[in-house]
Amino acid sequence: MFAELGTRVGVIPGGVNIGVLRGDQGRVILIDTGLNATSGKKALKVVREEVGGEVVAILTTHGHADHFGANATVVKRTGAAVYSPAPDDAVLRYPILQPMLLYGGADPLTTMRGGFLLADPSPVDVVVTPGPLSVEGIDIEVVALHGHSPGQVGYLVDGVFFCADVVLPHSVLEKYKIPYLCSVTDHIESLNVAARVPCDRVVPGHGVVLDSLDDFVKLNAGLIDEVADRILGFATEATTAETLLTKILLSFDAAVTDAPSFYLLQPTIFAFLSHLHRTGQIAHEVRDGRSLWMAV
């Protein structure tokens, strides 16, 4: 199903929203491709049958498997050029880096090598940087939205802002409680940046198309503040990050029952601790063979 958002812009709604930009002579650009071969084949079918074009390029927002997992399928069937921000381009080329980084940089568990965390390798033809970009004659503004991943970007085209995972909808937050973050410091700045992007429509990576990001920015920023406050409340005495993670999971009633869910949130807690340490709200020391944190 294809939803028109403008003369040259549309979206294929799904678990991950796939942007569609129409260039001249039926040449189509996708923004992200979804989780796996199924989503990639669906996108190609929609482009060919409903849009009447062929995919020639893919703009990747960030290096998480659910957003670039179908790149390999689309490239194999079309020869499309892949655009990616740095340093996320490394994960596209070497997808094992995603579960490896979540697992502390070590050889990840077999249970972390499923499709949700481990995509097929994707080529990267162009590394994009924030600022103006022209692809197939379409003027695009690349917006830095770092934090959910090291190099996440959004794409602004004809007043439509594809904002990736800088915000998550109520349904996702209800399910997962706490979103994965690589850098809380960068994410807070990206929420502020996203709120200032001049646009008529917003396409988040997940959820429905929006007229404004205001409510979603407030929702996601409020959750960041709540998690930070709870961490500080649990760290009135010196404690470990693992203990803090357990207390946070229990306090949010987060349904973490497998390795992928746990190891998505473990580095997220470290991201919060780095931010709180950077802003002078928590102290860190290594003592008696333990890494300890205590609210200031």
| Same-domain check for residues 179 and 71 | yes
Last residue of a domain, one of 223, 250, 271: 223
Last residue of a domain, one of 184, 203, 223: 223
| 271 sits in which H/E element | helix 259-278
Last residue of a domain, one of 223, 242, 268: 223
Residues 202, 224 contacting (CB under 8 angstroms): no
pLDDT of residue 255: 81
pLDDT of residue 194: 98
Helix axes 259-278, 184-196, angle to 10 degrees: 80
CA neighbor of 34 nearest in space, from 12, 51, 18: 18
| Same-domain check for residues 100 and 219 | yes
| Same-domain check for residues 219 and 234 | no
Residue 273 and residue 264: Cα distance in Å, rounded?
15
Number of domains present in the structure of the chain: 2
| Same-domain check for residues 108 and 189 | yes
| Same-domain check for residues 12 and 125 | yes
Specify the pTM.
Answer: 0.96
Residue 280 and residue 296: Cα distance in Å, rounded?
7
pLDDT of residue 176: 84
Residue 177 structural domain: 3-223
Under-50 pLDDT residues of the chain: none
Residues 172, 206 contacting (CB under 8 angstroms): yes
CATH number at residue 89: 3.60.15.10
Residues 128, 164 contacting (CB under 8 angstroms): no
| Same-domain check for residues 99 and 78 | yes
| Same-domain check for residues 50 and 189 | yes
pLDDT of residue 64: 98
Residues 20, 2 contacting (CB under 8 angstroms): yes
| Same-domain check for residues 161 and 26 | yes
| Same-domain check for residues 194 and 168 | yes
| Same-domain check for residues 218 and 269 | no
> Hey, which bits of the chain come out as E strands?
3-4, 9-12, 18-22, 27-31, 54-59, 81-85, 126-128, 131-135, 138-144, 153-157, 160-164, 201-204, 282-287, 290-295
CATH number at residue 254: 1.10.10.10
| Same-domain check for residues 184 and 63 | yes
| Same-domain check for residues 217 and 95 | yes
Query: Residue type at 132?
Result: P
